[in-house]
A and B are shown apart, each in its own frame.
Chain A
Amino acid sequence: MLLEMRSIIKEFPGGRALDGVSLDVIQGEIHGLVGENGAGKSTLMKVLSGVYPHGSYQGEILVNGAACRFRGIRESETAGIAIIHQELALVPQLSIAENILLGQEPSSFGVIDQERALQESERVLQQVGLDLPPHTLVRELGVGQQQQVAIAKALQKQALILILDEPTAALSDDEADILLDILRDLRQRGVTCIYISHRLQEVLSLCDRITVIRDGRSIATKTGSELTEQALVGLMVGRELASIYPRQERTVGEPVLEIRSWCAESSGGSLRLQDVSLTVQKNEILGLAGLVGSGRTELLMSLFGAWGRVTSGSLLLQGAPLAANTPQQVIAAGISLASEDRKRYGLVLGQSVRSNITLPNLTQVARRGVINEQQELDEAESYRQQLAIRCATVEQPVGTLSGGNQQKVVLAKWLMTHPTVLILDEPTRGIDIGARAEIYALINRMVDDGIAVLVISSELPELLGLCDRIAVMHEGRITGELSRAEASQERIMLLATGYSEKGATDA
C-alpha cells in the first residue's frame, strides 16, 4: 500500500467538510476519486498535500507505511506527493524548461547549469510525450500542453503520487485523449496517480480503482470494471436524480432579443465570431451549447462591448435597433449578463451581500448620488428572502458564502436591474446538486415573470432539462438549432463538433 489515509476528519466553522474519509492507493495504479461538488474531494487533497497542516484535521496519513505529518506543501512534496491543480501553477513568462525546474534548478554556486537543465527537462518532457523545444515560453502553449508541462514538472520532482485535479476540465476531447494516453503510459512506467474528475466515462476507462466520496464520507472503493456510469452516479448522489429540472409548458411570446449577423474578432484575430444570428423570445429559455473555445462566452462579452472588435451585425431589443457598445449602455437597455466566472466577473468578494446586490442598481436606491441606506437594506433584504440566500445577515461578506449562495447573489443583483433579457453563462458551475435545483427553479420563475432567458452551459443534461430551444456553436458559428423535442446529447455533440447543420436538423 503506497498511500493510506485513515478516518480523516476536517472541520470548518461552517461544519464538517470531511467526516471520516479513508483512501487507500496501491503502488502503480490510477485511482479515481469522484463525488459531487462539495463532497470533500478538494478538501481531502488539501489535507494530503499539507495545505491544511497536521493538527488542523484528525486522522492519519501513511506513505509507504510511515506516518506523515505535513505542515506545508513543501513537506508533502518532499515526501513525493505532487498535486497538479485545476489552475495550473506555471509561470507564463518563463520557458518550459524554466518552469519544469523552477525551485530545483541544477546549479553550482547559484549559477544555473544550462546544459544539465536542458537535458533534465528534455528527459521528463519525453516521458509526457511533449515534443517541443524546452525554451518555448509557456504562455505560447495550449491548455493541454501546459497540463503536460505541469505533469513533467511533477515527474522531475520524483513524485511518488501524482494527484490530478480535474485535468481535462478545460481540454477539448482530442486533448483530453492525449492526456489520458500519457497517463496510461506513465502507469506502465510505474507512476501512481490519484485522478479527480467529473467526467465519469473518462474515470471509468482510465482508473484501476475508484473511490466515491459523498457528504464528506468515503462511500465505496471499487475496481473500474465492477462499475457502470449509472452505478457510479448512484453512489455519488445517493438518491434518484429524477426531478431537479422543474418543467412546465409555456407559450412562447414575441421575440425580445434578436442578434443579427453578428461578426466580431478578438484583438489578436485568433477567434472570430462569424455571422451569428439568434433570437430569444419572451417566456422561453434559449440554450447555447458548444465546446470550450467555440466562442459562446466571447459572443456574450462582445454583445456587451467587453470583448474584441465587432465588425458587423446588429442587435434588436423588442423590435427596436439597439446601438450600445459599453456594458453601461447594454445594462441600461435591459440586458443583464451573469457571467461564467462569478468570482472574477460577478462579485466583489470582500464586500457585503448588500453592496454586491445593489452594485449595478445604486441609482435605484440613491437620490442625487447619495445612497439611501434604509432603502438599500430593505431592497437587499427582500432579495435575500425571495431567493433564499443563506447568510447570517446581508452585511456578511459575499466571499464567505458557499458557491450556490454566491450564485444566488449574482442572480439577485441582476434581477434587481429588472432586465428584459437575462443571460446566464454557466449558471451552476461549481454548485452542488441541492443548490442547483433551487437555481433552476429560480430561472423558471424568472421566465414565468416574463424575462427572456439565454443560458450557456457546458453540461448537456442541464441544457436539455432546462431549455425550450438549444442553439449550438462551433468555431464561432451557429451550427444548428434544436427544439426541445429534437434535442439529445448526441445531436448536440454532433453540431458542437462541427457536423453539418442541415444534416442534423433534417435527420
Chain B
Amino acid sequence: MHDQTTVNLKMLFKTNMRQFTMIAALLLIWLLFSIATDGVFLSPRNLSNLFLQTVTVAIVACGMVLIIVTGNIDLSVGSVAGFCGAVAAVLQVNFGWGTVATIGAVLLTGVAIGAWHGFWVAWKQVPAFIVTLASMLAFRGAILAVTGGSTISPMHDSFKVIGTGYLPDIRFDGTSFNDTSALLTIAFLIIYLLMEAGKRRNLIAHGLPVLPLGLDSLRIGLTALAIAAVCGVMIFNEGFPYAVLLLVLVVLVCRFVAERTVFGRRLYAIGGNSEAALLSGIDLKKNLMGLYMLFGGLTALAGMVMTARLNAATTSAGVNMELDAIAAAVIGGTSLMGGEGKITGAVIGALIMSSLDNGMSLMNLDSAYQYIIKGLILLTAVWADVAMRRRKG
C-alpha cells in the first residue's frame, strides 16, 4: 500500500499547479502593493476591509463557477444584484418592512429571476449569453424604475449589520481582540484538520494515491496556517464581519453542492458532455433550471450585502460585477468550455480581483489606469493558464 498508493512531490506540483500558481500570484500582488503603499496594504485594518470588499463578488463568483461549468454564462448578475439590492431598500424605506421579511422577499425575487433565466435557457433553448444579456439591460432599467432614479436610504440598523456588522465579544469586552472570532477560528481549524484526516484515511482505505505522510502534513499545516493568518487579521481588527461569515457559509454550501451532491455531479457531467449526460438519463432542463434558481438566490444575497454595506441602494450598484465574477471564476481555473471549475479557486480569483481594486485605490491610481491594468491582468492570467494546459496536453 505504501509504495504504489503514494505520490511524490513532483506529482503534487503537477496536479495542483494551478492552485499553487494562483496563490503565488495573490501573494506576489500583495507583496507589490505592500511595498508600493509602505505596508499600509497589509495592515489588519486594510486587509479586513479587503475581505469585506471581496464578499459580494465572491458570493456571485461561487455560483458563476457552476453556471460556467454547465457551459453557460450569466451576464446579468450585476444588474440583477443591483435590482435585488434596490428592492430591499424600497421595501424597507418606502414600505417600512422588517428586516426578516425583506430578506425573505428579496431572496424570492432573486430565485424568481433565476427561474426566468432558466426558463429561457433550458426550455426555450435561447443561448444563455443572449438571455442574460437581455436581463443585464432590462434589470438596469428595472433599478431605475423601482428607485425612481434616486438613491434610497437609510436601511434599518438590523439590515445594515449584514454588510457592516462584526461579531460581538462574548466575555472579554474591551480586549484588543475579538474572542468570539478567536473561538470560531479554533473550532474551524479543528474541523478542518479532522476532515483532512478522514479524507486521507478514506483514500488509503480505497487504495487511492495519497501523499507521503510528511508532505501531506506540510500541505495541511500550511493551509491551516493560511486560514489562521486570515482569521487572525480579522480577530485583531474588529472580529469577523457578518458578511465574511456569510461568504464562508456560501462557499461551504457551494462546495458541498458541487462535490458531494447528485445535482452538482450532474452539472459537471452536463458541461463535460451534454449528450452523454442526456443519454445517461439526466434531465438537462430540470438541472439547468435548478442551477439558475440557485444562482438567482446567490445574486440576491450579494445584492443585499451590497445595499447593507452602502446603507443605501444606488442606481449604479453592481455595474461591472458580472465581469468581476466571470474573471474571478476564470482566473480560479474554471474552463469556459464547461465541465471544469472549482469553487475555492473562484474565491481566490475574487480575492485577486478585489486586491487589485483595493491596492490601486490605496495608491491613488487614476481609475482610468485601474481599468486598463485589471483588463491586462485578466488577459495575462488566462493566457498563462492556456499556455500551461497546452504544455501539459
Which residues of A pack against B, CB within 8 Å?
A: 304, 306, 326-328, 330-332, 337, 339, 344-351, 355, 358-360, 362-363, 366, 369-371, 373-374, 377-378, 381, 393-395, 413
Across the two chains, which residue of chain B brings its CB closest to A329? B281
**How close is A223's CB to chain B, nearest CB, in angstroms?**
41
**Contacts of B165 on A, CB cut-off 8 Å?**
none
**Contacts of A377 on B, CB cut-off 8 Å?**
206, 208
**How close is B392's CB to chain A, nearest CB, in angstroms?**
12
In Å, the complex CA distance between A189 and B268 comes to 53
Across the two chains, which residue of chain B brings its CB closest to A374? B202
Q: A369-B263, A370-B260 are in contact. Are A360 and B208 (CB under 8 A)?
A: no
Is B276 an interface position by the 8 A CB rule?
yes
Is B168 an interface position by the 8 A CB rule?
no
Cβ of B280 and Cβ of A349 under 8 Å apart?
Answer: no
**Contacts of B278 on A, CB cut-off 8 Å?**
306, 327
**Contacts of A366 on B, CB cut-off 8 Å?**
261-262
Q: A363-B262, A369-B261 are in contact. Are A393 and B208 (CB under 8 A)?
A: yes
Cβ of A362 and Cβ of B262 under 8 Å apart?
Answer: yes
Chain B, residues 255-273, CB within 8 Å of chain A (1/0): the string is 0000011110110110011
Q: Which 8 A-B pairs have the closest CB atoms?
A: A348-B272, A331-B281, A360-B280, A362-B262, A328-B281, A348-B273, A359-B280, A377-B206
In Å, the complex CA distance between A294 and B262 comes to 38
**Contacts of B261 on A, CB cut-off 8 Å?**
366, 369-371
Is B209 an interface position by the 8 A CB rule?
yes
Can you name 23 A-B pairs with beta carbons within 8 Å?
A306-B278, A306-B279, A327-B278, A332-B281, A344-B273, A345-B275, A346-B276, A346-B279, A348-B269, A349-B272, A350-B339, A351-B339, A355-B268, A355-B269, A362-B262, A366-B262, A369-B261, A370-B262, A371-B262, A373-B260, A374-B202, A395-B209, A413-B280
**Contacts of A347 on B, CB cut-off 8 Å?**
273, 276
**Contacts of B279 on A, CB cut-off 8 Å?**
304, 306, 327, 337, 339, 345-346
**Contacts of B98 on A, CB cut-off 8 Å?**
none
Is B340 an interface position by the 8 A CB rule?
yes
**How close is A421's CB to chain B, nearest CB, in angstroms?**
14
Is B133 an interface position by the 8 A CB rule?
no
In Å, the complex CA distance between A366 and B208 comes to 21
Residue with the highest number of chain B CB atoms closer than 10 Å, among A350, A355, A366, A374:
A350
**How close is A367's CB to chain B, nearest CB, in angstroms?**
10
Across the two chains, which residue of chain B brings its CB closest to A342? B276
**Contacts of B207 on A, CB cut-off 8 Å?**
381, 393
**Contacts of A371 on B, CB cut-off 8 Å?**
260-262, 265
**Contacts of B268 on A, CB cut-off 8 Å?**
348, 351, 355
Chain B, residues 278-296, CB within 8 Å of chain A (1/0): the string is 1111110000000000000
Tally A-B pairs: CB < 8 A. 88
Is B277 an interface position by the 8 A CB rule?
yes
**Contacts of A327 on B, CB cut-off 8 Å?**
278-281
Cβ of A344 and Cβ of B280 under 8 Å apart?
Answer: no
In Å, the complex CA distance between A370 and B208 comes to 22
**How close is B287's CB to chain A, nearest CB, in angstroms?**
11
Across the two chains, which residue of chain A brings its CB closest to B275? A345
Q: A355-B269, A362-B262 are in contact. Are A373 and B202 (CB under 8 A)?
A: yes
**Contacts of A331 on B, CB cut-off 8 Å?**
280-281
Residue with the highest number of chain B CB atoms closer than 10 Å, among A349, A360, A381, A395:
A360
In Å, the complex CA distance between A374 and B340 comes to 23
In Å, the complex CA distance between A331 and B260 comes to 23
**Contacts of B260 on A, CB cut-off 8 Å?**
370-371, 373
Q: Which residues of B274-325 have CB atoms within 8 Å of chain A's CB atoms? A: 275-283
In Å, the complex CA distance between A351 and B209 comes to 17
Across the two chains, which residue of chain A brings its CB closest to B272? A348
Q: Which residues of B187-228 have CB atoms within 8 Å of chain A's CB atoms? A: 202, 206-209
Residue with the highest number of chain B CB atoms closer than 10 Å, among A346, A348, A349, A360:
A348
In Å, the complex CA distance between A377 and B208 comes to 10
In Å, the complex CA distance between A362 and B277 comes to 12
Known contacts A349-B273, A369-B261, A395-B208; 13 additional CB pairs below 8 A are A345-B275, A345-B279, A348-B268, A348-B276, A350-B272, A351-B269, A355-B265, A359-B265, A360-B281, A363-B262, A371-B265, A393-B208, A413-B280
Which of A328, A349, A359, A362 meets B283, CB within 8 Å? A328
**How close is B12's CB to chain A, nearest CB, in angstroms?**
15
In Å, the complex CA distance between A362 and B282 comes to 10
Across the two chains, which residue of chain B brings its CB closest to A376? B265
**How close is A329's CB to chain B, nearest CB, in angstroms?**
8
In Å, the complex CA distance between A350 and B262 comes to 18
In Å, the complex CA distance between A5 and B64 comes to 51
Q: A326-B283, A328-B283, A395-B208 are in contact. Are A345 and B276 (CB under 8 A)?
A: yes
Cβ of A344 and Cβ of B339 under 8 Å apart?
Answer: no
In Å, the complex CA distance between A369 and B259 comes to 12
In Å, the complex CA distance between A358 and B283 comes to 16
Cβ of B339 and Cβ of A328 under 8 Å apart?
Answer: no
In Å, the complex CA distance between A348 and B202 comes to 25
Q: A366-B261, A369-B261, A371-B262 are in contact. Are A348 and B339 (CB under 8 A)?
A: yes
Cβ of B273 and Cβ of A362 under 8 Å apart?
Answer: no
**How close is B182's CB to chain A, nearest CB, in angstroms?**
32
**How close is A408's CB to chain B, nearest CB, in angstroms?**
16
**How close is A190's CB to chain B, nearest CB, in angstroms?**
40
In Å, the complex CA distance between A344 and B266 comes to 17
**Contacts of A330 on B, CB cut-off 8 Å?**
281
Chain B, residues 162-192, CB within 8 Å of chain A (1/0): the string is 0000000000000000000000000000000
Residue with the highest number of chain A CB atoms closer than 10 Å, among B202, B206, B260, B277:
B206
**Contacts of B266 on A, CB cut-off 8 Å?**
362
**Contacts of B275 on A, CB cut-off 8 Å?**
344-345
In Å, the complex CA distance between A393 and B269 comes to 20
In Å, the complex CA distance between A337 and B273 comes to 16
Cβ of A362 and Cβ of B265 under 8 Å apart?
Answer: yes
**How close is B272's CB to chain A, nearest CB, in angstroms?**
4
**How close is B202's CB to chain A, nearest CB, in angstroms?**
7
**Contacts of A394 on B, CB cut-off 8 Å?**
208
In Å, the complex CA distance between A329 and B340 comes to 28
Across the two chains, which residue of chain A brings its CB closest to B280? A360
**How close is A81's CB to chain B, nearest CB, in angstroms?**
24
Across the two chains, which residue of chain A brings its CB closest to B264? A371
In Å, the complex CA distance between A140 and B253 comes to 50
**Contacts of A373 on B, CB cut-off 8 Å?**
202, 260
**How close is A52's CB to chain B, nearest CB, in angstroms?**
13
**How close is B16's CB to chain A, nearest CB, in angstroms?**
14
**How close is B97's CB to chain A, nearest CB, in angstroms?**
33
**How close is B390's CB to chain A, nearest CB, in angstroms?**
14
In Å, the complex CA distance between A406 and B202 comes to 26
In Å, the complex CA distance between A360 and B281 comes to 6
**Contacts of B340 on A, CB cut-off 8 Å?**
350
In Å, the complex CA distance between A348 and B280 comes to 11
**Contacts of B277 on A, CB cut-off 8 Å?**
348, 359
In Å, the complex CA distance between A381 and B209 comes to 14
Across the two chains, which residue of chain A brings its CB closest to B270? A348
**How close is A358's CB to chain B, nearest CB, in angstroms?**
8
**Contacts of B208 on A, CB cut-off 8 Å?**
377, 393-395
Chain B, residues 323-357, CB within 8 Å of chain A (1/0): the string is 00000000000000001100000000000000000
Cβ of A393 and Cβ of B209 under 8 Å apart?
Answer: yes
